[in-house]
Amino acid sequence: MSKWTKLLEYINKYDNILILLSGGLDSSFLAYACSKVEGNVLAVTFSSPLIPDDEVEEARKVAETFGLEHHVIYSDDLSVSEIRQNHPRRCYFCRKNRDASVMKWLEKFALKGYVVMDGVTESDTMEYRPGLEAAKEDGVLHPLKEAGLRKEDIRKLASEFDLKFWDKPPSPCLATRFPYYTTLSEEEIGQVSRAEKELASLGLREVRVRCYRPKVAVVEVSREDMGKAWAVRDELRSLLQGLGFVVVALDLEGHRSGKMDSLAGGV
């Protein structure tokens, strides 16, 4: 049995489904799969200072494309002290906060019998993901993981199904741009978000603007884009200084997921 067939069979076990749709590759692929089965499907996207506005809009478009009822819930993540202080287990507390918001939302509208699903994959279980612990406690289901789908499987299937988001790069929470135990502020988070959007407009993919200290921007791009970033370095510097950064640097290693964890010596 193929992993795609396993995924559809798993989803088909449930009559009422609520998808946590971030707008990224994995949750968007799950939304596509859910659109292929019987049952009632709702998609919920969180709006938060930690999420770029573009991602919320992308999620809305995905839901619309697949004919899913879509709702946006505002999550005041920075009101949680462990999140604001960028605790190493920030993702655990963030997930608990958001899961609680979804459950309250379901209760508010008397939507009973819904299971909550997210886009966690088999690959995610091999990384440092404290949010998975919270999801388990809260009973959130991981259909992609249950079907044995890894990130590379999902990207391949999405390409085969001609889904336009098949090559979309990851876009993790904006808190990952700051070292642990850095007090997060909406102003600095917004500054980083605007910076990444500006750099993406230069044609750079997988852009990260790490803010190790206030007003210091360390730019990461994919290794394939390193030459392109260097070629437009003056424009890059000008754009970021225009956003309030005083020092702008290019990380010569290129983008690497989990860099802040490495900085902390592991967690």
Q: Output the pLDDT for position 234.
A: 95
All residues at 6 or more sequence positions from 41 whose CB lies less than 8 Å from its CB, including other chains: 17, 18, 19, 34, 35, 68, 69
Which amino acid does the sequence have at 23? G
Which amino acid does the sequence have at 89? R
pTM: 0.93
What are the tokens at 142? 């991981």
Q: Output the pLDDT for position 200.
A: 92
Q: Output the pLDDT for position 264.
A: 63
Q: Output the pLDDT for position 127.
A: 83
Which stretches in the chain have pLDDT values below 70? 264-267
Q: Output the pLDDT for position 260.
A: 77
What are the tokens at 95? 């997930």
* Whether 6 contacts 148, CB under 8 Å: yes
